[in-house]
């Protein structure tokens, strides 16, 4: 097989408001570290897989659809073989205008700039193809913690060490014939929200990737964010999560990069590549959708985020369901990627590994439709299944039925050949 790589800065060249924290209400104040788009083009015979990574909160669904089409027509790569993956970095610009408060964050000029950089990076990756062999490294790292605590009948966002967090660390190393690292795909489930400063920076995933590029000369790696809807970095003081500055981001990133380097030094399983992609589009039902007349009235009389929520839901046609893109990427004999266009609870990744022991679940891929919690989490409430619906401009909250729908789709994909 062959691998081509490229990376380009996507630090905003114009003033924009960052996304990820509602407490930020002004344009970003400084750049503490550049953010990047990183491209890996994997080729096995006539089959290709294109991974486009960004130091971003997520890739907007509309942006993905438009850019996928341009890439496919320009570079002859099937749209089903193109995967936009994001680190879930809370210190970068938005890529979509379908989230509240949309009018204050989204920059069409930045989206145009970003699309141009993506297309340029794909062209560079095509010119960088080299033969490689693939190796899967299986490990673990305790950098995250479960973030839901049930107190007095209500869910609070606090560190919960009583519930095991998914510590699975998986690295796909792609090595040249001489053993040198051409690139890696690093998978770990942990929110990238250490810092809430009003400054551009890539948080721990992007900073760790920079450190790994420096450590392995001639390499360029990407980060695959896992199912981390209910997991946060273990940045805790007392019984609460605390945000930190960029200096602490670097400390966390260095520890994470060192864990990756340690794992890369250990013996790995060689993967016999065999690419195949199967995509499913699932309609996930919402509950509590308002009648059109009531929603229209709110869009006129509400204030603040409630007003922007109503206006954006109307723009999205007050739809009673959201469409999840779920793809199964058969990469080889002992590696399958399952991708989700959503923020996903760790329990869905655990289920995927039950039905497919070689599963690696990647969230924040090819769009964003909000938090996908389990049926029990939905019934318990809390930020992920309920409060976040306002910011994602969902017409309602997800029904507990989505767990059965997603499980059935993952099980079906796992059984396919």
pLDDT tens, position by position, 187-220: 999 999 999 999 999 999 999 999 999 999 999 9
CATH numeric code, 2-130? 3.30.230
CB 94 within 8 A of CB 60: yes
Using one digit for the tens of pLDDT, what is the confidence trace for 58-94?
999 999 999 999 999 999 999 999 999 999 999 999 9
Residue 350: phi, psi to the nearest 5? Answer: -60, -40
CB 133 within 8 A of CB 108: no
* SS3 label, residue 244: coil
As a whole number of Å, the CA-based R_g of the chain is: 20
Lookup result for tokens 């690696």: 360
CB 94 within 8 A of CB 57: yes
Residue 379: phi, psi to the nearest 5? Answer: -70, -35
Residue 396: both structure tokens together? 């309602």
Residues of the chain with pLDDT under 70: 101-104, 417
Which residues have CB under 8 Å from 306's CB, separation 6+?
298, 390
**Alpha helical stretches, state H, 266-401:** 292-301, 304-315, 346-355, 375-380, 388-391
pLDDT at position 404: 98
CA distance 221 to 185: 6
Give residue limits of the domains in the chain: 2-130, 133-271, 275-343+369-415
Question: How far, in whole angstroms, is CA 229 from its chain's centroid?
Answer: 10
* SS3 label, residue 160: strand
CB 57 within 8 A of CB 86: yes
Which residues have CB under 8 Å from 296's CB, separation 6+?
314
pLDDT at position 304: 87
CA distance 22 to 305: 10
Which residues have CB under 8 Å from 4's CB, separation 6+?
39, 40, 41, 43, 125, 126, 127, 128, 129, 130
66: left (phi over 0), alpha (psi -120 to 50) or beta: alpha
Lookup result for tokens 């229209």: 296
pLDDT at position 305: 87
pLDDT at position 102: 60
How far is residue 5 from each of residues 51, 121, 182, measured CA to CA in Å?
Answer: 10, 8, 8
Identify any residues that bridge with 137 across adjacent strands, giving them in sequence order. Answer: 171
pLDDT at position 23: 84
pLDDT at position 22: 83
The reply to whether the predicted model has a pTM over 0.95 is yes
What's the mean per-residue pLDDT of the chain?
96
pLDDT at position 97: 86
CB 343 within 8 A of CB 392: no
Residue 75: both structure tokens together? 């570079």
Q: Is the dihedral of CA 374, 380, 383, 389 positive or negative?
A: positive
């Amino acid at each position: 097989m062959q691998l081509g790589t490229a990376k380009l800065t996507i630090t905003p060249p114009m003033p924009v408001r960052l996304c990820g924290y509602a407490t930020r209400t002004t344009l970003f104040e400084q750049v503490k570290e550049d953010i990047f788009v990183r491209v890996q083009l994997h080729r096995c015979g006539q089959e290709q897989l294109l991974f486009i990574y960004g130091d971003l909160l997520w890739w907007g669904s509309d942006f993905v659809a438009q850019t996928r089409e341009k890439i496919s027509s320009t570079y002859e790569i099937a749209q089903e073989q193109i995967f936009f993956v994001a680190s879930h970095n809370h210190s970068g610009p938005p890529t979509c205008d379908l989230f509240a408060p949309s009018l204050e964050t989204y920059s069409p000029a930045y989206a145009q700039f970003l699309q141009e950089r993506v297309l340029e990076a794909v062209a560079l990756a095509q010119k960088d193809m080299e033969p490689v062999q693939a190796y899967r490294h299986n490990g673990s790292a305790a950098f995250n913690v479960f973030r839901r605590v049930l107190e007095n009948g209500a869910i609070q966002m606090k560190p919960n060490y009583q519930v095991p967090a998914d510590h699975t660390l998986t690295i796909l190393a792609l090595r040249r014939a001489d053993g040198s690292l051409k690139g890696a795909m690093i998978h770990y489930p942990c929110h990238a929200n250490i810092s809430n400063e009003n400054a551009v920076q890539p948080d721990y995933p992007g900073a760790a990737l920079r450190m790994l590029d420096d450590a392995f000369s001639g390499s360029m790696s990407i980060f695959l964010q896992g199912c981390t809807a209910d997991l946060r970095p273990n940045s805790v003081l007392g019984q609460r999560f605390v945000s930190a500055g960029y200096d602490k981001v670097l400390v966390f990133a260095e520890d994470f990069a060192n864990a990756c380097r340690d794992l890369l030094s250990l013996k790995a399983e060689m993967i016999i590549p065999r690419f195949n992609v199967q995509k499913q589009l699932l309609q996930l039902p919402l509950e509590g959708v308002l009648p059109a007349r009531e929603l229209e009235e709110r869009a006129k009389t509400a204030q603040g985020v409630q007003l922007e929520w109503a206006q954006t839901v109307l723009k999205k046609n007050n739809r009673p369901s959201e469409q999840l893109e779920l793809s199964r990427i058969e990469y080889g004999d002992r590696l399958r990627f399952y991708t989700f266009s959503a923020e996903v609870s760790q329990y869905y990744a655990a289920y995927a590994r039950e039905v497919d022991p070689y599963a690696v679940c990647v969230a924040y891929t090819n769009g964003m439709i909000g938090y996908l919690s389990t049926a029990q989490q939905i019934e318990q409430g809390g930020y992920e299944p309920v409060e976040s619906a306002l910011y994602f401009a969902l017409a309602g909250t997800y029904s507990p039925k989505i767990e059965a729908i997603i499980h059935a789709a993952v099980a079906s994909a796992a059984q396919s050949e």
